[in-house]
Structure formats: C-alpha cells, structure tokens
Amino acid sequence: MNGTIGRLLLQRLGLGLLTLLIVSVVVFMITNLLPGDAAEESLGQAATPEAVAALRAQYGLDQPAPLRYLHWLGNLAGGDAGASIVNGMPVSDLIGKRLPSSLVLAATTALVSVPLALTLGILSAMYRGSLFDRAVNMAAVSLVSVPEFLIATLAVLIFAVKLRWLSALSHTADIGTLGDFLRAYAMPVFTLCCVIVAQMARMTRAAVSDQLDAPYVEMARLKGAGPVRIVLRHALPNAVGPIANAVALSLSYLLGGVLIVESIFNYPGIANLMIDAVTTRDIPLIQACAMIFCGAYLVLVMLADICAILSNPRLRNP
C-alpha cells in the first residue's frame, strides 16, 4: 500500500515538473511576442542605436531565441532570475520586496474564505431545499457571475466614497495596530473572498451532497443517527478528497484575481509588480513573476491531487 502511494506521488511530482517545463516554454514565447523593444523602452526615444545595441548585447537580447531560452532556464533552475532591464537590479531582490505582501494578502484571504465557504457548503448540503440552501445558492451564483473589478469598484464606491469608512488604497506601510491592518486589508480581502467563497461553497455542497445520497448514509439514518453525526462521522471523511480539490481550485483562482485587486487598490504585491513590468517591457521580471504564479498554481493542484489519492482508496488502483 505504501509503495503504491509512493509511486503515485512520484508520478504526480514528475507530471508537475514536466508541466512546469512546458509552462516555461509558453511563458518565454509569450514574453518574447510582446510588442516593442525592451532596450528601446528602457533607454527612451533619445537613445542612440549604439546604446540600444549595447544594452541588447548586455542582456543577451541579440541572441537567437532557443539559446536565450536555454540560458534563462539554466539560470532559473540555479536560482538566478536575471537582472531587471529597467533599473538593473536583480529580479530576485525586486520580487523579494513584494512577495511577502502578496503572501500576507493570500493568507488572510484564505483564513477568512476557507472556513466560511466550508461552513456554508456543509450547511447547504445538510439542509438541501431549505430557504437557507436556496439563499446560499442564489448568492453564490450571483457572486460568481460578477467579475472582481466590479466588486472592487462597488466596494470603493460604498465604503470609501459614500460611507468614508475605509481608504480606497491599501496603505500597508502605515500599519501599526490591528485597526490599521483591518482598514488596509478589508476591501482587498472582501473582494477576493466574494468570488472564492462562492465557488468553494458550491463545490463543497456538491461533494457533501453526493456522500449524503450514498447507501451507507441511508443505513446510518435507519440506525437512528442524527444529521450532525451523519455529516461529521460518515459524510465528511469520505468527502475530504473532493473538498480538498474545491479548496485548491478556489485558492488557485485567487492567483488570477489578485492581479486585478492589487492593481485597483494599489497594493504593493508581486501582481502589481508584474503589471508594472509589462508596462515597461521588463522581460526578465515578467518571466520570473509569471513562473511564480504558474508554479503556485501547479503546487495547489498537486496538493489537491495528493489529498484525493490519500483519502480515496479507489484512486490508488486506477
């Protein structure tokens, strides 16, 4: 049994690394298809052709694409993401200054959204067809249908412009107390939670509902088990795999939503850094940020897959 699980985990890890390699090719090709020249964009319109050619040679932009890809991939595997074309600073230093802020935002969002979504999803499954269930479903469908930028804009309009409770921008540098933290993170976390909670609650409800319809749950009811005992003792342990998938997929959606949220609230995170890099055609910085997002997505999906394998014996013998 342990050998089978180990083999499956190694297979998933190998597939994850292969996928990451394919993603690196796609990221490199897309960043090289961006319009404009990074060297000319960095030096400005007054730059001489000689200066532009020297900068292109300095960053290897004058070399063939396959050679540049292999050089970039080799350095990336060794932990060297290169230097920014715009300011010459190491990309790792630029990312290192912003990554902790993005991790704090993601962790805060996950701490709020995961317990809330799981509670709503489980209660909806327990009371299927009730007024509570219909209200949760209607709210979830409505929130999933609304894009993040619209939720963020409405939040700014209501809480910052009309009520004047919060600032329209996230001033994370001024945080000194818990109140400052709540005021800085309230609207970004609220915006991200709206869509994530809706998706996670719907998938959790579906996973628990499938288990509640299983014959073994009907047998437990006939033996006199109450609704809470049936859910906690029988349904939830068998729904861990699908719920882990729901949590991982919903949190992976956070990686896309954070691009919009950090931009709207001027949050000093890695997504905002990537948007600035796209504006200035800073290719090494764009590539490094894109690989971080893709790598985080693959890790979340792989963790969900591993949870499903460990919780469901049928997946160990495909």
pTM for the full model?
0.82
pLDDT at 250: 78
Residue 5 lies in a domain: no
CA distances from 136 to 15, 195, 281 (A): 37, 13, 44
Q: For residue 134, what are the domain limits?
A: 97-315
pLDDT at 275: 86
The average pLDDT across 280-294 equals 88
pLDDT at 132: 92
Residue 18 lies in a domain: no
Does the pLDDT value for residue 134 go beyond 90?
yes
Residue 55 CA to residue 57 CA, distance in Å, equals 5
Q: Sorting pLDDT into bands at 50, 70 and 90, what band is 6?
A: confident
For residue range 146-176, what is the model confidence (pLDDT) as tens digits? 888 888 889 889 988 888 888 888 777 777 7
Q: How far, rounded to the nearest angstrom, does the alpha carbon of residue 11 sit from its chain's CA centroid?
A: 24
**Burial of residue 315 (number of CB atoms within 10 Å: 0-12, 13-18, 19+):** middle
Residue 213 lies in a domain: yes
pLDDT at 1: 53
Which of 24-33, 56-65, 94-103, 216-225 shows the lowest mean pLDDT across its residues? Answer: 56-65
Does the pLDDT value for residue 16 go beyond 90?
no
Tell whether the torsion through CA atoms of 201, 203, 204 and 205 is positive or negative: positive
Residue 31 lies in a domain: no
pLDDT at 124: 92
103 neighbors 270 (Cβ within 8 angstroms): no
The average pLDDT across 257-269 equals 83
Residue 131 CA to residue 248 CA, distance in Å, equals 29
Residue 267 CA to residue 204 CA, distance in Å, equals 30
Residue 132 lies in a domain: yes
Residue 77 lies in a domain: no
Residue 116 lies in a domain: yes
The upper half-sphere exposure of residue 314, i.e. CA atoms within 13 Å in the direction of its Cβ, equals 2
pLDDT at 119: 92
Which spans in the chain are helix H? Answer: 2-32, 38-43, 49-58, 65-77, 91-126, 131-145, 148-155, 178-212, 215-222, 227-229, 236-238, 240-264, 270-279, 283-311
The average pLDDT across 17-22 equals 91
What is the number of domains present in the chain? 1
Residue 282 lies in a domain: yes
- Please state the φ and ψ torsions of residue 252, each to the nearest 5 degrees: -65, -30
Looking up residue 248, the CATH number of its domain turns out to be 1.10.3720.10
Tell me the pLDDT of the chain averaged across its residues: 84
